[in-house]
Amino acid sequence: MEFSAEQIAQFLRGEIEGNPQEKVNNISRIEEGGKGTLSFLANLKYEKYLYSTTASIVLVNKSLALSQPVTSTLIRVDDAYQAFASLLNLVQGTVPRKKGIDPGSFIAESASVGKDCYVGMFAFIGENVKIGDSVCIYPQVYVGDNVSIGDNTILYPGVKIYHDCQLGKNCIIHSSTVIGSDGFGFAPGEETFQKIPQLGNVIIEDDVEIGSNVSIDRATIGSTILHKGTKLDNLIQIAHNVEVGENTVIVAQAGIAGSTKIGRNVMIGAQAGIIGHIILADKVKIGAQAGVANSVKQEGVILLGAPAFDIRDAKKSMILFRRLPQMYDQINKLEKEIELLKNQLTDKG
């Protein structure tokens, strides 16, 4: 399919700078470009490519001031990244969704499956499972007994959902992710450990996306909860009885220890670790590789470092960490000079 700058500008309510008849039939990254492709510029780190790209059309922010001439036709919009996302969604909407119950899948007789669902080959759906409408369950997925899954949710190949867990609508869960495995609970004995049975479940509300190879443990009692709109990247650890607030974003390889409560619209950077039994207030931001060992009760605080503290202070300490050898030399020099001064004073005394 081919679209003109005029058609795209109309769809995005943008303004054209250049040829309204310019045509595109594909998308590209601005540094790669190519005739007949549409690209975008949002991160100004990539601005230099705007002046050399061969993309036929480029979406840019209304606020962008050009510093050089541009050969592409520009479409100016309020937010080029969001506008581009809308177009990508339009493109993806044209990809037909998988449908139909594959006879090579297994669905327990006591399970119910809604309309327009896909259940792929080698997928396993256990007893009393309730699946909504338009749900996509790819091959080799496991859905344990008594699980419920809301409308439009997608489970990619190999996802494993343990018994009794609940998934909302419009969720996306990527391959090899495990929902509802046992929490890590053991009562220490003299030398050995006694397993604490994990009798709770996991509740995932609507509009949650979870990457691949993520582990979300079931609660000991009660529920581990991901609230509405939460987005998790890959290889993340969510321990038992954790609660993650609405629209919170957690980046790859981060881990949250048991019973911790994360607020709404929190951002947790890659490889960060949050200790158990604490609380993070709404809108808190935790930097990559940080280690958070105490509750953060003030909204919107930004922390960095391990152990984590206020980002401005942490950055100062990190810069001085690099200067430690100089500081050490300074101190030793000062000691010698003081010794000298003391001797001089004694001599004079």
Does position 215 interact with a copy of itself (CB under 8 A)? The reply is yes
Under DSSP, is residue 267 helix (H, G, I), strand (E, B) or coil? strand
**Closer residue to a copy of itself, CB minimum distance, 21 or 307:** 307
Q: Which of 92, 96, 109, 115 binds a copy of itself (CB under 8 A)?
A: 92
- Catalytic position from the list 163, 174, 227, 240: 240
CB-based contacts of 164, cutoff 8 Å, min separation 6: 144, 145, 146, 147, 180, 201, 218
- Least distance from C-beta 196 to a copy of itself, angstroms? 5
CA 284 to chain centre: 15
According to CB under 8 A, which one of 3, 222, 301, 302 is a site residue for a copy of itself? 222
Give the residue carrying structure tokens 């490519």: 49
Three-class SS of residue 5?
helix
User: Of residues 70, 196, 279, 302, which one binds a copy of itself by CB under 8 A?
Assistant: 196
Nearer to a copy of itself, 21 or 100 (CB): 100
The Cα–Cα gap between 140 and 136 comes to 12
Task: For residue 296, give the DSSP letter.
Answer: B
Site string for a copy of itself, 286-315 (x = CB under 8 A): --xx-x-------------xxx-x---x--
Contact 266, 283 (CB under 8 A): yes
Distance CA 269, CA 250 (A): 6
Q: Which is nearer to a copy of itself, 20 or 291 (CB)?
A: 291
Q: Which residue has the tokens 């790859």?
A: 252
Q: How far is the CB of 130 from a copy of itself (least distance, A)?
A: 19
Site string for a copy of itself, 123-142 (x = CB under 8 A): -x-------------xxx-x
Residue 240 bears catalytic tag? yes
Residue 275 sits in the site that holds a copy of itself (CB under 8 A): yes
Binding of a copy of itself by 175 (CB under 8 A)? yes
Residue from 7, 25, 52, 330 binding a copy of itself (CB under 8 A):
330
Nearer to a copy of itself (CB atom), residue 66 or residue 338 = 338
The whole-angstrom separation of Cα 110 and Cα 130 is 9
| Region of 3-11, 16-24, 68-76, 250-258 interacting with a copy of itself (CB under 8 A) | 250-258
Shortest distance in whole angstroms from residue 291 CB to a copy of itself:
5
- Show contacts with a copy of itself in window 228-247 (CB under 8 A): 229, 231, 233-235, 237, 239, 241, 246-247
Residues 46-75 contacting a copy of itself, CB under 8 A? none
The secondary structure of residue 169, as a DSSP letter, is: S
Pick from 265, 279, 299, 301 the residue near a copy of itself by CB under 8 A.
Answer: 265
Number of residues counted as binding a copy of itself (CB under 8 A) = 114
Give the tokens for residue 22: 């310019």
Question: Is 72:56 a contact under the CB 8 Å cutoff?
Answer: yes
Residues in the chain: 349
The DSSP string of 10-54 is: HHHT-EEES-TT-EESEE--TTT--TTEEEE--SGGGGGGGGT--
**How far is the C-alpha of 97 from the C-alpha of 86, rounded, in Å?**
18
Residue 110 is a binding residue for a copy of itself (CB under 8 A): no
